[in-house]
Structure 1
Amino acid sequence: MLYLASPMDGRARGPGPQDKGRVSWESTISKGCLEFPSGVESLRTGSRFLQHLLPVADFWKHGARFAAFQQTPRIGCHAGQGCLFWTCHDERFLYMLMEFVPGGELFSYLRNRGRFSSNAGLFYSAEIICAIEYLHSREIVYRDLKPENILLDRDGHIKLTDFGFAKKLVDKTWTLCGTPEYLAPEVIQSKGHGRAVDWWALGILIFEMLSGFPPFFDDNPFGIYQKILAGKIDFPRHLDFNVKDLIKKLLVVDRTRRLGNMKNGADDVKRHRWFRTVDWEAVPQRKLKPPIVPKVCGEGDTSNFEAYPENDWNTAPPVSPKDLEVFKNF
């Protein structure tokens, strides 16, 4: 969950683990898929930050996800990702203090509009490609690209969030993780996967942004998986030839022939004719004009996020010092 908090005093200083106790919670603004509390808090700077609270007692239930969160500090800051400032833990929670991005989820804007225009989809796709390219340059596969994990900053530029499934790659990884509609065939078939899954997810995302629904959907995950493996795509009539060609090349079942996963990597995607009008040098510098500029009314405005009931996160049980040893480097 996401909480909003107020500063305990007005002295200015940069955020650090020593500030963990110098905050007060204001309101819940979101909830993660594993129901780990998260929050927005303000420290002595008076600024707001996104704080994830991960219950240590749930470690054995969601160990793989916790292990992935431990890799997040190594991702670093980039224009397309929310910055992680620090991590620490006590006997109840793992704490991750991250940048607060006030514009809300791209999913909310897509839901309200039904679908995006071609120009809007082009803008978001370009910024997402640069974010994926950066992660892959750090040998990190994101593995959870979807509208809910894309936030807009106050100017309307994207920030990827929720790196719970992100993984540092040595060779291939085998964990079945992600959102069913966005899973690549090699993930479903447990063949081992790598960077190619992010390019597959990009194809799904572009289709959904421009259509209002994903290309493969069903009432249950098994039905979705069957359609993904079959690979048949029914395009809405309003999509132009170039974007359909791009989506087809991203949604190639054979990952060795998937756009973005071949010799030239992200450059092959950037050179596709759907992006012929994009100035790729301007994209990471945030010089393109966003199609949507969120309404943000001051520091800590959470109006672009959904409201959630307040929970008493203090009821999370503590764990023994022995069980905490696994988090000594967190």
Structure 2
Amino acid sequence: MATGTVEDSSPNEVQSGSVASSIPFKTNSIRQGIHEKERHLVHSIRSVPQKFAHPFLVTDRADEKQLCISSRGLELNDFKLLKTLGTGQEHYATSRALVALLPLKNQEDKTKVYALKVLRKADVIKLKQVEHVRNERKTLVAVNGHPFITNLAASFSDDLSLYMLLDFCPGGEIFTYLRRSRRFNEETSRFYAAEITMTIEFLHDIHGVAYRDLKPENILLDADGHIKLVDFGFAKQVGNRETYTLCGTPEYLAPEVIHNSGHGLAVDWWALGILIYEFLVGQPPFWDQNPMRIYEQIVEGRLRFPPNMPPAAQNIVSLLCKTNPTERLGYISGGSGRVKAHPFFAEVVWDDLFYHRVKGPIIPRVSHPADPSNFEEYPDSDVRNQNVYTDDLKKKYEPLFSDF
């Protein structure tokens, strides 16, 4: 399915002259109430300590007050490696790894495990991803506590690497379940599309953040079958601006990204349309073994629907995958509220999903909190021929890693 992730650093940004209207779509009072509940929950999460506060409670750094573990004094030896969850194949850092870890010090709950994202400093510098790494940590701190986004518990660093300690999500990637079942039925597709919609709404409306890498591999399931969005390496706070960085995964790139004409928040709504199609059909609408042919199909924007695809699904995909972002559902006047009001989501009770009052249509097999069986086996990273973090690099770049 996914052919890999592309990224071309180009830091230039301009103020957009064509932005989505800030006037909310006039939906019914129930939907407005749900939106207000979401905003209220967001503000409550961001303003009070988490109930599961860790003994390492943060008191010094203002940007860490939302984290449940302080970075102060943390080091790799505080954890015990249980299993490597992913390594070496992601978009920016050839030795990046996600590993399940069991904290051994100062933790009352001995069943609590985390996923640790490891980024070698020398690799980050060589691949020119310093700003992406900084953006990722900054974004994760800002959005901490949302029910559909993986929580950042802490971040820290040592002489060689940067670390982001994340809550472990035992269900594994939704990609695995989609590949196993070949396609989802309409009910399952709608459920997960709705949770993704609320996540995009939160990122865009509350933080002005474009996620920019929406795909099944970046969506995990928790033990109750709800989503957790992970990997914010391409996330960027853009607001009403445009950015010109070519980044993402070929099948999910919006036309404006390929044209390098400047892109913003609208790219996530395009990707949602691609995902809904993929959930129902089993593969993205624009697919070819040759990435260049994928780009050509995306720019052409000719969607072909199988005859058994529900009409409401065809319609919402068509509206989300408008090649002109100013005509795209989610970005046009009404924003995310208009997406949620679409007939495809007519049966969705939004607050039931948001507050996890119902379980998901896919319930992962999880035998215990540290069960890693829903993740594939990965070999340990090859430490040979790795980039070296020299004294000159350290002198130049270490101040830029001071956030960790």
TM score, norm. by length of structure 1: 0.92
Counterpart of 2:209 in structure 1 is 140
SS in 2 for 1:172: strand
Tell me, in whole angstroms, the C-alpha distance in 2 between the residues paired with 1:270 and 1:148: 24
What is the letter of the counterpart of residue 116 of structure 2? Q
Q: State the Cα deviation string for residues 246-276 of structure 1 (Å, max 9, x = none).
A: 1000000111110000121101101101111
The counterpart of 2:143, out of the listed 75, 79, 82, is: 75
SS in 2 for 1:282: helix
- 1:114 Cα deviation from its structure 2 partner: 0.2
Say if 1:113 and 1:68 are closer, same or farther in 2 by CA, change over 3 A. same
What is the letter of the counterpart of residue 328 of structure 1? S
Tell me, in whole angstroms, the C-alpha distance in 2 between the residues paired with 1:76 and 1:62: 27
- 1:316 Cα deviation from its structure 2 partner: 6.8
Tell me, in whole angstroms, the C-alpha distance in 1 between the residues paired with 2:138 and 2:242: 16
Say if 1:88 and 1:319 are closer, same or farther in 2 by CA, change over 3 A. farther
- Write out aligned runs for 1:84-163 (5 A): 84-136=152-204, 137-163=206-232
Counterpart of 2:292 in structure 1 is 222
What is the letter of the counterpart of residue 296 of structure 1? V
Tell me, in whole angstroms, the C-alpha distance in 2 between the residues paired with 1:313 and 1:168: 34
Tell me, in whole angstroms, the C-alpha distance in 2 between the residues paired with 1:59 and 1:294: 34
The counterpart of 2:97, out of the listed 22, 34, 37, is: 37
- 1:66 Cα deviation from its structure 2 partner: 2.4
The counterpart of 1:25, out of the listed 60, 68, 81, is: 81
Q: State the Cα deviation string for residues 201-240 of structure 1 (Å, max 9, x = none).
A: 0000000000000000112211101000111111112201
Q: Which moved further from structure 2: 121-130 or 230-239?
A: 230-239
SS in 2 for 1:200: helix
| 2:74–2:156 CA contact under 8 A, matched in 1 | no
Counterpart of 1:57 in structure 2 is 122
Asked if 1:297 corresponds to 2:383, the answer is no
| 1:27–1:310 CA contact under 8 A, matched in 2 | no
Tell me, in whole angstroms, the C-alpha distance in 2 between the residues paired with 1:117 and 1:280: 19
- Write out aligned runs for 1:198-277 (5 A): 198-277=268-347
What is the letter of the counterpart of residue 232 of structure 2? F
| 1:92–1:316 CA contact under 8 A, matched in 2 | no
Q: State the Cα deviation string for residues 182-208 of structure 1 (Å, max 9, x = none).
A: 000000001111110000000000000
Tell me, in whole angstroms, the C-alpha distance in 1 between the residues paired with 2:74 and 2:100: 14
SS in 1 for 2:317: helix
Tell me, in whole angstroms, the C-alpha distance in 1 between the residues paired with 2:137 and 2:194: 28
Higher relative contact order (CA 8 A, sep 6+): 2
Gaps of at least 5 residues in structure 2 are: 1-53, 57-68
Tell me, in whole angstroms, the C-alpha distance in 1 between the residues paired with 2:222 and 2:273: 23
Tell me, in whole angstroms, the C-alpha distance in 1 between the residues paired with 2:383 and 2:147: 32
Q: State the Cα deviation string for residues 112-170 of structure 1 (Å, max 9, x = none).
A: 00000000001000111011111112111100100000000011000000000000114
- C-alpha RMSD of the superposition: 1.7
Counterpart of 1:3 in structure 2 is none
Tell me, in whole angstroms, the C-alpha distance in 1 between the residues paired with 2:378 and 2:352: 37
Tell me, in whole angstroms, the C-alpha distance in 1 between the residues paired with 2:214 and 2:323: 18
SS in 2 for 1:249: helix
Counterpart of 1:287 in structure 2 is 357
SS in 2 for 1:204: helix
Tell me, in whole angstroms, the C-alpha distance in 2 between the residues paired with 1:91 and 1:317: 11
| 1:157–1:290 CA contact under 8 A, matched in 2 | yes
Q: State the Cα deviation string for residues 80-117 of structure 1 (Å, max 9, x = none).
A: 10001121212200110111100000000000000000
SS in 2 for 1:29: strand
| 1:80–1:158 CA contact under 8 A, matched in 2 | yes
State the number of aligned residues: 319
Counterpart of 1:6 in structure 2 is none
- 1:26 Cα deviation from its structure 2 partner: 2.4
- 1:313 Cα deviation from its structure 2 partner: 5.6
Tell me, in whole angstroms, the C-alpha distance in 2 between the residues paired with 1:143 and 1:48: 28
| 1:176–1:187 CA contact under 8 A, matched in 2 | yes
SS in 1 for 2:243: coil
The counterpart of 2:376, out of the listed 300, 303, 306, is: 306
Identity fraction in percent: 40
| 1:81–1:131 CA contact under 8 A, matched in 2 | yes
SS in 2 for 1:309: coil
